[in-house]
A and B are shown apart, each in its own frame.
Chain A
Amino acid sequence: MRYLPRLVGALVVLWGAATLAFLVLKLVPGDPVAIMLGAQTQASDAVKARIREDLGLDRPPFEQYFGYLGRILLLDFGTSYRLQRPVSDVIGAQLPSTLALTGAAIVLALLIALVIAITARGRVSRAVASVLELLVISSPGFWTGLLLLTLFSFQLHWFPVSGGQGLAALVLPAITLALPIAGLLSQLLRHGLDSANAQPFVTSVLARGLGPVQLLARHTLRHAALPATTFAAYIVGALLGGAVIVEQLFGRPGIGRVALEAITNRDLPVVMALVFLAAAVFVVINLIVDALYPLLDPRLRSAR
């Protein structure tokens, strides 16, 4: 039963996220119907009234709020204002594309970070690694992506810009999304390895006759992974936020683009569902991270 408080906490987070999203969208100025139709609309007032009625926007805010909450409980996110389709369809159709992108990016980021952290042990290589990390972390994704596109797509023709061209079309977007995360992970891993190497247990491990590879694989890398794991939620945030920019730049379908469109068009049901989805992902990630700590560091097992 020790998971019960966590479960309650998670539900509170989800409810809070949904409420906050609703409040923000209701408090910011602007009439959703006007935004949907735009400044130069030729729609008559009767048409506007009909749309408002169809969307339930003519009802009091409280009724709308509880209506949303009630339906969310049943995992029914309603119908998109703009697309006139069930929100679950809209997101469901776009989710695989974003999962492919973020999945590829995180695998790539981990590989790059591991390779750099393990190989860059000398003074010069560490200095180089450190500069590179700083560079990729601080470069805006939009800029990195355009640079990659210009070089590898527009000039060298190695990869297509985007579209349904299979794996080749995934390479550049995934690299763009992976680079800043790889930089961060690599920094965390390198510093983690450094501090693990300074620990007394390293001497005893080496005294037991284990080689450097075994030391790394069984001991120091595990220690180094702890701080990186703590950043998991941040990394997921960076992935989802980065996906908005990468999908827009490369013309990829995905929930990043859905989110951008939904926010600019005040498509409340879609925004609410995305906020709810993001909150759920964070809750799950944090639960997983909590469960991972004791596995990575045996010292934390008794601390419970």
Chain B
Amino acid sequence: MIQRTQGARRAGWLALVAAAGLALAGCSGPADGGAAGDPVEGGTITVAIDSDVASQFDVHVSAADISALVLRNVFDSLVVQDADGSFQPWLAASWEISPDGLEYTFHLREGVTFQDGEPFDAEAVKLNLDRAANPDTKSQYAAALLGGDAYAGTEVVDDRTVVVSLNRPYAPLLQGLSTTYLGFFSPAVLESSADQLAAGGPGITVGTGPWILDRYVEGQEIAFTKNPDYDWAPANALHTGPVHPDELVYRILPEGSVRAGALTSGEIDVASNVSPSDVPTLQADPAITISSVNAPGLPWSIFLNHSTGLFQEQPIRKAFQLGIDIGSAVDAVYDGLYERAWSVLSPTTPNAYDASVEGTWEYDPDEAGRLLDEAGWTELDSEGYRTKDGQRLSVHWVATQTREDRASLVDAFQADLKKIGFELVVDRLDVGGYLDQLFGGTYDIVDWSFVRSDGDILRLHLYSEFAPIQNASFVDDPQVDDWVVAASESTDDAERAELYAQVQQWAVEDAAIVPVYIPGNITASGSAIGGLRADITGWPLLYDAWTTKGQ
């Protein structure tokens, strides 16, 4: 689940000055729609999204968030991950994991059919999973969710039973299987339309889901109609059977303030990906319900490069970590909308978060200064920055175009560090220049967040062989490697949580990654909408939703 950096994201002009003191009341937990009472049948729900799915309709290939968000309506998964992180039945009625963690046996639900009438059976599961893993598919994400080279293959036992085999244990497999990226195409379209799956379209983008792709107008909208035969909802859904409305339309509105405005005017019913700066305007409208779910995974974090320059020394990293006032900056910029992060994992990451690190590394400029003194950075130059052997204490933050709110955070950190004589230079580059530096490892600092509802995100970001992507800090510590690999291979939740707790405590001490705030997925909906839920990552789920507009 990749958070794409959108060059064109601007601050919402409608909320030029975010009104202070507007605490976001009730902004956690799954979204509940505004309309009270019983579900209503019929009508159309219109949802605004920020980018097009153009040529990203093949969920086995695409790594884009938007593919998974929109195509969740077409593709069901074997299992569903509930908000508490537990896995529940969906297309698989039950499953067993072998004691060595190498074989996952799934017993498929009876009577499931694809939207084109093809039966959903063990053979369809094998076809799809093998396709996602096949190098010829050129998968950008689904193959990794299957465990990459850990995936050995899928075997058909009988019509209703499949066994997914692994070369080595890979505990996050169920989480991967619960995502849209490992959804199931009808075997008929895999056969007949293989070269059109990326382009997508009615009759091509065909799964088992509750919504059938009806029309796609590039750059404008993606429309779905009700699948009247649907009777295999995930176990955690609010209802069973077909969806309530007749039609579901996604409108592509790239500007955040336009999505917000179109919602207040009633032109759309749901706005996804609401930018924080539009929240005060929306809150002022009593007809609008706002929900925000803290995204699981890696918070928005600052990666300090271990492999080059000043950050090779732990005391300098620690001085940086203690020398920036994260709490005040996050409060000032987000005004309570997003929480500051204490750990390299978000608190909503299931079976992995270690709350004990909270409050253990408060802003401490004095201690930061002491560490720098000890490291020999004692002289000051004419601009007030520390020097050692004639060299200035200066680091470069390499960034590409970013959201304005994050740029404000960087400005605040720059000012904090100046106070302790530590220079922070921000190099804003275009995507190409940024990626060159990133892959070359020639930066002191880069930043990002990574949404995933599994602690395995820590292996991705800390395992020595993954530098610099995603181990952008170039962490190379055998102890850490052992922890994250052991956790990825253990199917015991308690054992995994214990290993991840050790990693999180180590991360605070080492200051390899400085977590800043926990991003949330903000969704807003109008008063006609009920039954809107969010999945564990905060993306809106349209299966249970209804609208009173058609009445």
Contacts and interface: CB of A to CB of B under 8 A. Distances in A.
B13 A143 contact: yes
B148 interface: yes
A253 B139 contact: no
27 contacts: A29-B436, A31-B436, A37-B140, A38-B5, A39-B434, A39-B448, A40-B448, A42-B63, A42-B144, A43-B140, A44-B135, A51-B138, A80-B55, A83-B55, A94-B219, A150-B14, A157-B266, A161-B253, A161-B262, A248-B255, A251-B219, A253-B220, A254-B219, A258-B219, A260-B8, A264-B431, A266-B431
A150 B432 contact: no
Contacts of B139: 43, 47
Given A28-B433, A30-B430, 15 more contacts: A29-B436, A30-B432, A31-B435, A38-B2, A40-B3, A42-B63, A43-B138, A43-B139, A84-B55, A154-B264, A154-B265, A157-B266, A248-B8, A258-B219, A266-B431
B438 to A, nearest CB: 6
A31 B435 CA distance: 8
Contacts of A247: 219
Contacts of A254: 219
Task: Give me the 4 closest cross-chain CB pairs, A-B, nearest first.
Answer: A30-B432, A253-B219, A42-B144, A154-B261
Interface string B43-63: 000000000001100000001
Given A143-B13, A163-B220, A253-B220, A40 B2 contact: yes
A256 to B, nearest CB: 10
B218 A93 contact: yes
A282 B221 CA distance: 32
A82 B218 CA distance: 14
Contacts of A94: 218-219
Interface in B1-17: 2-5, 7-8, 10, 13-14
A120 B377 CA distance: 70
Contacts of B450: 40
**Quick one: which of B218, B255, B258 has the most chain A CB within 10 A?**
B258
A82 B433 CA distance: 19
Contact of B219 (A40, A143, A154, A257): A257
Interface in A25-54: 28-31, 34-35, 37-44, 46-47, 50-51
Contacts of B262: 153-154, 161
Contacts of B252: 251
Nearest to A157: B265
A254 B400 CA distance: 26
Contacts of B8: 248, 260
Given A37-B63, A251-B254, A29 B433 contact: yes
B19 interface: no
A30 B436 contact: yes
Contacts of B4: 38
B314 interface: no
Contact of A35 (B219, B253, B432): B432
B469 A41 contact: yes
A228 interface: no
A50 B245 CA distance: 43
A39 B254 contact: no
Interface string A70-82: 0000000000101
B460 to A, nearest CB: 8
A297 B257 CA distance: 49
Contacts of A249: 254-255, 258
Interface in A73-119: 80, 82-85, 93-94, 97
B255 A251 contact: yes
Contacts of A82: 55
A249 B254 CA distance: 7
Contacts of B3: 40
Nearest to B181: A42
Contact of B140 (A29, A41, A80, A163): A41
B470 interface: yes
B432 A29 contact: yes
A163 B223 CA distance: 12
Interface range on chain A (Cβ under 8 Å from partner): 35 or more
Given A43-B140, A50-B138, A146-B13, A251 B220 contact: yes
Interface of B: 2-5, 7-8, 10, 13-14, 54-55, 63, 135, 138-141, 143-144, 148, 198-199, 217-221, 251-255, 257-258, 261-262, 264-267, 400, 429-436, 438-439, 448, 450, 469-470
Contact of A153 (B198, B199, B267): B267
A34 B219 contact: no
Contacts of B469: 39-41
A35 B435 CA distance: 7
B251 A163 contact: yes
A22 interface: no
A186 interface: no
Interface in A209-257: 247-254, 257
Interface in A155-201: 155, 157, 160-164
A51 B137 CA distance: 11
B435 A264 contact: no
A275 interface: no
Query: Which residue, of A31, A155, A163, A252, has the highest number of chain B Cβ atoms within 10 A?
Result: A163
Nearest to A247: B219
A83 B264 CA distance: 34
A274 interface: no
B54 A83 contact: yes
B443 to A, nearest CB: 12
Contacts of B217: 164, 253
A41 B469 CA distance: 8
Contacts of B258: 146, 149, 161, 249-251
B261 A149 contact: yes
Given A35-B432, A264-B7, A248 B218 contact: no
B435 A39 contact: yes
B137 to A, nearest CB: 9
B220 A252 contact: yes
A143 B257 CA distance: 12
A47 B148 CA distance: 12
Contacts of B257: 146
A210 B343 CA distance: 85
B199 A85 contact: yes
Nearest to B195: A84
A264 B450 CA distance: 21
A166 to B, nearest CB: 13
Nearest to A147: B13
B63 A84 contact: no
Contact of A150 (B144, B253, B261, B266): B261
A87 to B, nearest CB: 13
Given A43-B63, A153-B261, A28 B432 contact: yes
In this complex, the member of B255, B264, B434 whose beta carbon has the largest number of chain A beta carbons within 10 angstroms is B255
B433 A153 contact: no
B397 to A, nearest CB: 14
Contacts of A44: 135, 143-144, 148
Contacts of A260: 8
Q: Which of B2, B148, B400, B432 has the most CB of A within 10 A?
A: B432
B220 A41 contact: no
A44 B136 CA distance: 12
Contacts of B148: 44
B228 to A, nearest CB: 25
Nearest to B138: A47
A142 B14 CA distance: 12
A41 B148 CA distance: 13
Contact of B55 (A38, A85, A149, A257): A85
